[in-house]
């Protein structure tokens, strides 16, 4: 598996995982438990991994989903 991105934002990570899983792409969140060890201060980002063969497709899915979210919230 390869790293798609890393973040300290649990909402961003959850959103990305939901978008990927909806498209049938398996993903794995790693380093989640380090947060408990470090006292949840956000010093260590969590990493979202996907299969190497899915990396480019996963990037496209997240880019399209983020663009759609922006389009829905921009003033006309």
> Residue 49's domain is classified under what CATH number?
3.30.70.790
Which of residues 45 and 41 earns the better pLDDT score? Answer: 45
Per-residue model confidence (pLDDT) at position 72: 67
10-24, 27-41, 61-75 — most confident range: 10-24
pTM for the full predicted model: 0.83
Per-residue model confidence (pLDDT) at position 63: 96
Structural domain range at position 18: 2-73
Alpha carbon distance 56, 50 (integer Å): 10
Report the domain count for the chain.
1
Q: Give the mean pLDDT of 67-75.
A: 74
């Amino acid at each position: 598996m390869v790293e798609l991105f890393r973040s300290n934002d649990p909402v961003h990570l959850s959103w990305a995982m939901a978008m990927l899983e909806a498209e049938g792409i398996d993903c794995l969140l790693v380093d989640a438990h380090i947060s408990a060890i470090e006292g949840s201060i956000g010093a260590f980002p969590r990493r979202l991994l996907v299969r190497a063969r899915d990396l480019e497709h996963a990037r496209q899915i997240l880019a399209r989903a983020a663009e759609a979210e922006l389009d829905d919230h921009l003033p006309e």
